[in-house]
């Protein structure tokens, strides 16, 4: 009986170690995902023009990171430090990207982004206020905020569908960066595995879908890479996180 208990304890310890390793790996890959749009934004800064790049993926990623950051706090879902760290980093990157977009976008595009940012701010204030005031246990808070994370995490991973549609219409991957697509796929795979250790449906659903969407982007890239017109300035493919 004692030996059986020791075996169980070792299994739990090993699972915790594996979860930590995968979580750290996920943080590194996610950082790569957040960095992947950088070539595109360097291009935007140099040309002083946002061209056809869409801000929607970045707006979706910002809201997603804000929700996951809240989810990872001890007052909502204890023992989720790695969730807090990577989403805090993500928030900083998305704010930078959207700031650049606001600087170089046309007036109409700039107003659209400002309105959407205002809506996101109001939404987050409402969520934080209602959850903390009306729900008093971390189990129930995790459930409610987790459902929101699933919904908006799915929206974030689905946001590249706009870019994928453009790729199919133009038969060009100019505006869908390979680095971003690959990082999205690897990020989804890593956090899906993390969601199994232990089982966390809130992590599993959006990241499982993210894996599928990332794979779809890579398949599109393989299909249309050769038909993309060559240009003197190498175009990067962009997406959100």
Give the number of other Cβ atoms within 10 Å of residue 217's Cβ: 26
CA distance 7 to 174: 54
Given a cut of 60, whether residue 10 has pLDDT beyond it is no
Q: Which residue has the tokens 């790695």?
A: 82
Over pLDDT 70: what percentage of the chain? 88
Distances (CA, A) of 183 to 221, 224, 233: 13, 19, 22
The band of 206, judged by pLDDT with boundaries at 50, 70 and 90, is confident
Q: Record the tokens describing residue 129, joined without a space.
A: 């206020």
Contact 214, 171 (CB under 8 A): no
pLDDT in tens, 23-66: 888 888 888 888 878 888 888 888 888 877 778 888 888 998 99
Average pLDDT of the chain, as a whole number: 82
The band of 13, judged by pLDDT with boundaries at 50, 70 and 90, is low
Given a cut of 80, whether residue 199 has pLDDT beyond it is no
Please give, one letter per residue, the 3-state secondary structure of 135-185: CCCHHHHHHHHHHHHHHHHHHHHHCCHHHHHHHHHHCCCCCCCHHHHHHHH
Please state the pTM of the whole predicted model. Answer: 0.75
Given a cut of 60, whether residue 235 has pLDDT beyond it is no
């Amino acid at each position: 009986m004692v030996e059986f208990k020791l075996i169980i304890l070792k299994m739990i310890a090993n699972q915790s170690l594996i979860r930590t390793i995968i979580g750290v790996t996920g943080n590194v890959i996610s950082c790569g995902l957040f960095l992947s749009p950088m070539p595109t934004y360097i291009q935007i800064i140099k040309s002083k023009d946002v061209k056809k790049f869409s801000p929607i993926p970045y707006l979706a990623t910002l809201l997603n990171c804000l929700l996951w950051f809240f989810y990872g706090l001890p007052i909502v879902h204890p023992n989720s430090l790695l969730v807090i760290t990577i989403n805090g980093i993500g928030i900083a990157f998305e704010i930078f990207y959207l700031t650049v977009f606001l600087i170089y976008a046309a007036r109409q595009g700039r107003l659209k982004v400002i309105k959407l940012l205002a809506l996101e701010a109001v939404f987050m204030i409402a969520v934080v206020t209602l959850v903390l005031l009306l729900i008093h246990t971390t189990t129930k808070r995790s459930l409610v905020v987790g459902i929101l994370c699933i919904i908006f995490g799915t929206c974030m991973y689905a946001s590249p569908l706009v870019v994928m549609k453009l790729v199919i219409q133009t038969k060009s991957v100019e505006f869908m960066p390979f680095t971003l697509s690959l990082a999205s796929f690897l990020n989804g795979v890593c956090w899906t595995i993390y969601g199994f250790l232990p089982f966390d449906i809130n992590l599993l659903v959006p990241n499982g879908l993210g894996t599928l969407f990332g794979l779809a982007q890579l398949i599109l890239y393989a299909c249309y890479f050769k038909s993309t017109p060559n240009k003197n300035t190498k175009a990067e493919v962009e997406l959100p996180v």
